[in-house]
Chains A and B, each alone.
Chain A
Amino acid sequence: MEVLGLLADGFATSLTPLNILIVILGVTAGLFIGAMPGLGSVNGVALVLPLTFIVPPTSAIILLAAIYYGAMYGGAVSSILLGIPGASTAVATTFDGRPMALQGKAGLALIAAAVASFVGGTISVLLFTAFAAPLAELALKFGPAEEFALVLLAFTTFVGLGGDDTLKTIVMICLGLVLSTVGLDMISGQPRLVFGDIPGFYAGISFLVLAIGVYGVGEVLYTIETARTSPAVSTARLRMRDLVEGIREMNKMWKTMSFGSVLGFFVGMLPAAGATPASLMSYGLARTFSKKPETFGKGNIEGVAAPETANNAASTGSLLPMLTLGIPGSPTTALLLGGMVMWGLMPGPMLFIEQKDFVWGLISSLYTANLAAVLINIALIPLFVWALRMPFSVLCAMVLVLCILGGFAPSQKLHDVWLIAGFGVAGYLLRKADYPLAPLVLALVLGPLMEKSFRQALISTQGDPMIFFSRPLSATFMVLAAIFFALPLLKMLRQRLSKRPAPAE
């Protein structure tokens, strides 16, 4: 009950006219920043940080949090409309969002993304409000062994699929893992797979570059081939009916969305993980538990809802270790941390005790930011959809320009632009040969995390692999992973067995 009192005080702070205005401005700015490929919440927060010194610290952090939230919503927009992930956290949203747009259901997909983000945001803020302190303790229990087991679990959800060819999935995961080892070795500092001495490879291959290449450029190439004769890529329109239908559709997905929210929140809390792995894991799990896994990747609305709930939940989750432990869970929270230090607030275990006003003002503003974001987002959907009605020849060129910009902006290296071009062609060819691309991206996102936690765990036990099974949390994950991996095999076996008595033979 003490929590409710504190939250009420928080609302008293966050609902002042100035702070409401700040939330609306922040969310709108964040939405557009997130929707631009190459610009993400990091850039938004970095740009606005200097402005925050003219308002009181609580208002300042509310502004930054609003931008952060808005960008999480916005990332889905270009993923769905253009097939280019608007932000790294929205990579998984392209898997089903883009096919939906191609089927003329862009409006529905955008509504699904907005509602799912709202659900994810709300559930995670509720979790945050109720269990901030005990959850921070739980995050501490996550050591290298748990991290590794969790990542392994994420992989198995992608392997254990009925729809795609299992062998091809495994090949793509392996390819992604190889790409993830490019660059400097985290433990010894030696360069690996830098192809002679190409400087661009020292920093490794960013998965955003891969995703923009295979999805953005690859998609354009594929569409040029298939849609050469039909000039309009989609007949996207948005009517009130779509909105109603969207919300009705969402109603059927409570299970996926609540699961995605909880998962997203927890993965976001882990300092090494964050929103991108969270959204990919949520996508994989939704697919595993779906009755029709084969429709994923081909425009299943659940495939949009699952990652979008998770990435918003994760963005709330990553605030938790920043506030309670002083460890940022993502690059954006690292910037927020910098701001807090400047305002004289020292994040860490003492913050919740010494700076109650600030902490609860921030938490309550997450509620308002979330509500503002979903309303503004839905209001803007007609505008976004309208953009799709451009002639294909114009849209196509625009997408390519955005791909190049989006790849160049974060690192400002021409090297990445060449990589995007290469990955684009490779992605196009792989797609023609029916290789699934999602596992490739997943492997590049999770590969470094998996390698690091695996090596750390084994170093700390001097090579004894029992550490993965002797700790309760990690053992649970390992068992689940084994089950997920075995599931498709069992399914296949059962199908064979039921076919055998058929009289045809």
Chain B
Amino acid sequence: MTNIFTRRGAMALMASAAIAVGSPGLADEWKPIKPVEMVIMAGQGGGADRLARLFQTIIQKEKLAQMPFLPVNKGGGSGAEALRYLKDKQGDAHVIMATLNSYYTTPIQTEIGVNIEEFTPLARMAVDTFALWVNVDSGIETIEQYVEAAKAAGGSWRMGGTGTGQEDSLVTALLEREFGISHTYVPMGGGGEVATALVGGHIDATVNNPSEAMSFWQAGRVRPIALLTAERLDSMPGVPTFAELGHDLEYYMQRSFVAPGGLTEAQQAYYVNLLQSLHESEEWQTYARDQALLTDFLAGDELQAYFLSEREKHREILKGLDTPS
């Protein structure tokens, strides 16, 4: 395993060196020769989906690549479908995958024969944030009112979210532990579906990413109660963090790209370079600012180390929690 790491480390160094110097190309330069499939580990309309489609259009508009990138949703089974697909595509350099945190949680929870260490890490584009949302008709404005309402409902308080064991259910479980409340967790197809279900009153609360619920908030249909971030967000003025309310609740979602295992160094470097230019594009930076995303770029070896430490962190969280099922 250490072997792999050092080799990957070398690759990443080469890649970042190439970027830093801005040299036009490595000796064994590689380019895709057919359209690249961009697998999304989630359903349509959610945060991951919106982001992947945004990247696709920026790549095309700015002509960052010669070949088009075609987004494909494989959201089945909390991303298990996508992970399994990527494993079966071993060595295929014309597939990349947009990840969520279920990149590490799903293989821990289900027996799908996937080890993420075998995949090729490309780059982390952003860290997404979470907030607790309610329908404005509920009249709930503060976390105290929320806890009171959830307690009064006695377990029948409906929390909507993505698949069981995925980020939303983890955040729900964290909330339950912190406030001593319980929810009825209703799993849905994707963040977009969850946000509309809240507006339609089919559920009582969500832990949507801000980008998923932002437009409903602007339209006065839903209300954020508090953020699960360390600091307040510029794009969400007036919304407190749980930390400042005296509750130690913080959780983030990584938005990265990975490729199947068995890629050559040149292939990996191609994608890292591409994603680096994407990271620097004006459109992406503007979008991220408006949608409360933190754009911390990370690539290669560092990214793999980050993935593995996050996986351990999630293993701990999952162990310590009665994840809703």
In the assembled complex, which residues on chain B have CB atoms less than 8 Å from the CB atom of A53? Answer: 60-61
A330 to B246, CA, bound (A): 43
Is B106 an interface residue when CB atoms closer than 8 A count as contact?
yes
Q: How large is the interface on B (under 10, 10 to 19, 20 to 34, 35 or more residues)?
A: 35 or more
17 more contacts with CB within 8 A, not counting A144-B186, A189-B78, A348-B218, are: A46-B68, A50-B60, A143-B200, A189-B77, A189-B163, A191-B80, A202-B84, A203-B81, A271-B45, A327-B45, A327-B192, A328-B44, A335-B53, A338-B50, A341-B287, A342-B58, A460-B186
Top 4 closest pairs, chain A to chain B, by CB: A348-B215, A184-B77, A338-B53, A349-B219
Which A residue's beta carbon lies closest to that of B286? A344
Residues of B163-189 at the interface with A, using a CB-CB cut-off of 8 Å, are 163-165, 184-189
CB nearest to B87 among chain A residues: A199
Does any Cβ of A come within 8 Å of B141's Cβ?
Answer: no
- A46-B70, A341-B50 known; A203 and B85 CB under 8 Å? yes
**Chain B residue contacts of A186, Cβ below 8 A:** 76-77, 163, 187, 189
Do residues A328 and B45 form an inter-chain contact, with CB atoms below 8 A? yes
Given contacts A456-B186, A459-B184, contact A272 B88 (CB under 8 A): no
Give the distance in Å from the alpha carbon of A198 to the alpha carbon of B109 in the complex.
Answer: 20
Partner of A338, one of B71, B77, B163, B283: B71
Once bound together, how far apart are the Cα atoms of A452 and B325, in whole Å? Answer: 15
* Among A183, A185, A456, contact of B188 (Cβ-Cβ < 8 Å): A456
Is A204 among interface residues, defined by CB-CB distance under 8 A?
Answer: yes
CB of A140 within 8 A of CB of B199, answer yes
In the complex, whether A498 has a CB less than 8 A from a CB of chain B is no
Q: Is B115 an interface position by the 8 A CB rule? A: no
CB distance from A305 to the nearest CB of B (A): 30
Taken together as a complex, chains A and B put the C-alpha atoms of A142 and B196 apart, in Å, by: 10
What 1/0 flags go to A121-146 for Cβ under 8 Å of B? 00000000000000000011111100
Q: Is the CB of B165 within 8 A of A49?
A: no
CB distance from B115 to the nearest CB of A (A): 16
B322 → A minimal CB distance (Å) = 15
Contact A331 B44 (CB under 8 A): yes
Q: Does B265 contact A (CB under 8 A)?
A: no
B264 contacts A by Cβ under 8 Å: no
Interface size class of chain A, counting residues whose CB lies under 8 Å from the partner chain: 35 or more
- The answer to whether A460 touches B44, judged by C-beta atoms less than 8 angstroms apart, is no
Rounded to whole angstroms, the CA-CA distance of A337 and B58 in the bound complex is 14
Q: Chain B 203-227 against A: per-residue CB contact (8 Å), 1 yes, 0 no? A: 1000000000011101101000000
B138 is an interface residue with CB less than 8 A from chain A? no
B57 lies within 8 A of A49 (CB):
yes
**Is B164's CB under 8 angstroms from A187's CB?**
yes
A:56-93 near B, CB below 8 Å: none
Among B71, B215, B325, contact of A188 (Cβ-Cβ < 8 Å): B325
The residue among A49, A197, A326, A348 with the most chain B CB atoms within 10 A of its own CB is A326
Q: Tell me if A251 is interfacial: C-beta within 8 Å of chain B.
A: no
Interchain CB contact under 8 A, A49 and B215: no
Q: Does A15 belong to the interface (CB within 8 Å)?
A: no
B219 touches A271 (CB 8 A): no
Chain A residues with CB under 8 Å of B84's CB are: 199, 202
The answer to the question of A339 belonging to the interface, with a C-beta cut-off of 8 Å to chain B, is yes
The answer to whether B216 and A348 have CB atoms under 8 Å apart is yes
- Residues of B close to A141: CB separation below 8 A: 200-201
Known A-B contacts A186-B189, A326-B192, A327-B196; A334 and B215 likewise in contact (beta carbons under 8 Å): no
A190 within 8 A of B: yes
Task: Please determine whether A190 and B57 come into contact, CB atoms closer than 8 angstroms.
Answer: no
In the complex, which residue of chain A has the Cβ closest to the Cβ of B52? A338
Cα distance A46–B68 in the bound complex, in angstroms: 9
- Return chain A residues, CB-CB under 8 Å to B201: 140-141, 143
If the complex has contacts A349-B216, A349-B218, are A143 and B81 also in contact, measured as CB distance less than 8 A? no
Q: Would you call A346 an interface residue if the criterion is a C-beta within 8 Å of the partner chain's C-beta atoms? A: yes
A238 within 8 A of B: no
**Min distance, Cβ A463 to any Cβ of chain B, angstroms:** 10
Q: A residues within 8 A CB of B57? A: 49, 338-339, 341-342
> Which B residues lie within 8 Å of A271 (CB)?
45, 192-193, 196
Q: B80 near A189 (CB under 8 angstroms)? A: yes
Contacts of B200 in A (CB 8 A): 139-143
CB-CB contacts below 8 Å: B22-78 with A: 44-45, 49-50, 53-54, 56-58, 60-61, 68, 70-71, 73-74, 76-78
Give the docked Cα–Cα distance between A325 and B158 (Å): 21
In the complex the two chains form, is B80's CB within 8 Å of A462's CB? Answer: no
B156 on the A face (CB < 8 A): yes
**Do A202 and B81 touch across chains, with their CB atoms under 8 A apart?**
yes
- Given A50-B68, A338-B56, A346-B215, decide whether A144 and B113 contact each other with a Cβ distance below 8 A: no
Instruction: Kindly state whether residue B112 has any CB partner on chain A within 8 Å.
Output: yes
**B110 on interface, CB distance cutoff 8 Å:** yes
Cβ of A452 and Cβ of B215 under 8 Å apart?
no
Name the contact of B219 in the complex, choosing from A139, A185, A348 (C-beta under 8 A): A348
The answer to whether the Cβ of B197 comes within 8 Å of any Cβ in the partner chain is yes
A204 to B77, CA, bound (A): 11
Write out, one digit per residue, whether chain A residues 219-232 have a CB within 8 A of any chain B CB (1) or not (0): 00000000000000
B278-317 vs A, Cβ < 8 Å mask (1 yes, 0 no)? 0000010001000000000000000000000000000000
**How would residues 12 to 51 of chain A score, 1 for a CB under 8 Å from any chain B CB and 0 otherwise?**
0000000000000000000000000000000000110110
A350 close to B (CB within 8 Å): yes
A334 and B202 form a contact (CB under 8 A) = no
- Chain A residues with CB under 8 A of B71: 335, 338
Residues from chain A with a CB closer than 8 A to the CB of B216 are 348-349
**Contact status of A460 and B202, CB under 8 A, knowing A189-B78, A202-B80, A334-B44:** yes
Q: Are B221 and A349 in contact (CB under 8 A)?
A: yes
23 intermolecular pairs with C-beta atoms under 8 Å apart: A49-B60, A140-B196, A143-B201, A189-B80, A197-B113, A199-B84, A202-B76, A202-B80, A271-B196, A327-B193, A327-B196, A331-B44, A331-B73, A334-B45, A334-B53, A337-B53, A350-B215, A456-B187, A459-B186, A459-B187, A460-B184, A460-B202, A462-B155
Chain A CB within 10 Å, residue with most, of B80, B106, B214: B80
CB nearest neighbor in B for A455 = B187
Using CB atoms, name the residue of chain B closest to A352: B219
User: Within the assembled complex, what's the spacing in Å between the Cα atoms of A142 and B70?
Assistant: 31
1/0 per residue A284-311: CB within 8 Å of B? 0000000000000000000000000000
